[in-house]
Amino acid sequence: MTTLLDGKTLSKTIQSELAEEVKVLKDQGIQPGLAVILVGDDPASQVYVGSKRKTCEKLGILSKASILPASTSQDELMAIVDQYNSDPEIHGILCQLPLPAHLDEQQVIEAIAPSKDVDCFHPENVGRVLIGMPRFLPCTPHGIVQLIKRTGIETTGKHTVILGRSDIVGKPLAAMMLQKDSGENMGCNSTVTVCHSATKNLEELCREADILVAAIGKPEFVKGHMVKEGAVVIDVGINRIDADNEKGYRLVGDVDFEEVKPRCQAITPVPGGVGPMTIAMLMYNTVSSARLS
């Protein structure tokens, strides 16, 4: 029997825990607040920003948003970041990615005060994760580790193979899976291999994985023959492919779910796997930031 790693349900459990913590903070006179910046009209980004705002409301977190046109200039965007940096009601700031092509994402990321960088994208916070002294943990990798650990899946001594070397998922997840597990730091004591577009023996490496994480943005790339019997498969991909339905698309992951599922010990679905965990861990960071303020 394959275990379904149900991120939708686990994210609700984590949200309930956080709602309790928000109540405690409010009793102490601390109202957690998150600022979300969205530039342009990318439909998927609009969905994610909407979910972030709704989740804040549900948890009792103050949410402020700057929804800006695609024509916004770098200077205008930087001014908004500055404004939130000095806003005492705001403990977390995020700029939804990707930004329109004319804007410099890295400059925006580096302008966010590290103490309010709840995405954990600022170089200072990325560096802290790398040396095992995190202020925040990056949301998607942290969501993956929570899904694995709270299901009771062993990570110590296991071989984790990550497909994709993005700054948001592949690289920080590699650091967390590699990190020595010392109880509270979300380290996993795993042996890690990161595969990318120039990796030669990618299929062979995938077949060696005890834990296989697909984060390459290629619809249904991982096929049954690439997965070892009894592996744990984590699908980070959220790809919209054309479909003859009301929405005109359906979501598929980077894993061919039907082919891979029968071979696995456990697998995340898409939708309802890693995606909802990303938002839960963003809320976790916002509450932590308020607690630290």
Ligand X SMILES: Nc1nc2c(c(=O)[nH]1)N[C@@H](CN(C=O)c1ccc(C(=O)N[C@@H](CCC(=O)O)C(=O)O)cc1)CN2
Query: Which residues have a catalytic role annotated?
Result: 52, 96, 119
The residue (of 11 and 179) whose beta carbon lies closer to ligand X is 11
CB of 24 to ligand X, least distance (A): 26
Question: Considering the complex, what minimum distance in angstroms separates the CB of residue 253 from ligand X?
Answer: 8
Q: Which range in 15-23, 141-149, 228-236, 273-281 contacts ligand X by CB under 6 A? A: 273-281
Instruction: Give yes or no for residue 4 binding ligand X (CB under 6 A).
Output: no
Name the CA dihedral angle for 46, 279, 290, 138, rounded to a multiple of 10 degrees. Answer: -110
- Residue of 5, 279, 280, 287 that binds ligand X (CB under 6 A): 279
For residue 225, the 8-state DSSP code is G
**Matching residue, tokens 């790398």:** 130
238 is in an annotated binding site: yes
- Burial group, residue 272, by CB count within 10 angstroms (0-12, 13-18, 19+): middle
Nearer to ligand X, 98 or 262 (CB): 98
Peptide bond into 271 cis (omega under 30): yes
Per-residue string for binding with ligand X, 123-142, x by CB under 6 A? ----------------xx--
Considering only residues 72, 96, 179, 288, which one is a binding residue for ligand X as defined by CB under 6 A? 96
Is 288 known to sit in a ligand binding site?
no
Beta bridge partners, 92, equal: 34
| 132 three-state secondary structure | coil
- Say whether 73 counts as a known binding-site residue: no
**For 27, left (φ over 0), alpha (ψ -120 to 50), or beta?**
alpha
94 binds ligand X (CB under 6 A): yes
Nearer to ligand X, 97 or 130 (CB): 97
Q: Which stretch binds ligand X (CB under 6 A): 123-131, 172-180, 189-197, 268-276?
A: 268-276
Q: Which is nearer to ligand X, 34 or 192 (CB)?
A: 34
How many chain residues bind ligand X (CB under 6 A)? 20
Residue 10: enclosing H or E segment and its boundaries?
helix 7-27
In angstroms, rounded to a whole number, what is the distance separating the alpha carbons of residues 235 and 178? 19
* Strand, helix or coil for residue 111: helix
Minimum CB distance to ligand X smaller for 160 or for 278? 278
Among 93, 238, 264, 287, binds ligand X (CB under 6 A): 238
Q: CA dihedral in degrees (66, 278, 137, 148; nearest 10)?
A: 180
Contact between 24 and ligand X per CB under 6 A: no
The burial class, CB within 10 Å (0-12 / 13-18 / 19+), for 86 is: exposed
Binding site for ligand X (CB under 6 A): 44, 47-48, 94-97, 119, 139-140, 168, 238, 251, 270-272, 275-276, 278-279
Residue numbers belonging to the annotated binding site for NADP(+)? 164-166, 238
